[in-house]
Structure 1
Amino acid sequence: MIDHLQSAALKELTEARKSMRERGLKVYENRKTKLGVEVGFLCRGYHHKLSMLWGLIEAEIEQKSFSYLGLNIEEKVALK
């Protein structure tokens, strides 16, 4: 199961990086803080910043994991 999750995540990451390259997006700064992750990136010559809180990151990871396994996250309670 873990191998399947890793393969699915790596495939999506590869596709995302390819898409970013095609669109001219370049990440030049990536910092982990107590509150979350802060990213600086370049898009069409303009500098931008993006911040994500740890709670949102955890929720996204959980949702993606369920999706990769073909499970419905709404049925999460039934799995406990």
Structure 2
Amino acid sequence: MAASLGSRFGEKAEITAGKTGQFDVIVNGRLVFSKSSTGRFPVDGEVEEIFAALKEGREPAPVEEKKRQGFVGRMLGKLGK
């Protein structure tokens, strides 16, 4: 992903290993993608499209969150987690 951002936009991306399996993408201090809230890794090109929108001054399309499954998922959804 860092190489893709570099070749497509000429930007240097920094990748920092997390400790808890998180996968967050932060652009200029703004969280633009979070595996924790979506329940998934980004699909190919998704982060690049978010970055392109921000670079052009547009608001990126909302990232679709994964629907929680089962009883525990429904309860967490009701609690806003």
Pick the TM interval, shorter chain.
under 0.3
TM-score w.r.t. structure 2 length?
0.26
Rg (Cα) greater in structure: 1
Hey, which of these two has a bigger chunk of strand by percent? 1
Hey, which of these two has a bigger chunk of helix by percent? 1
TM-score w.r.t. structure 1 length?
0.26
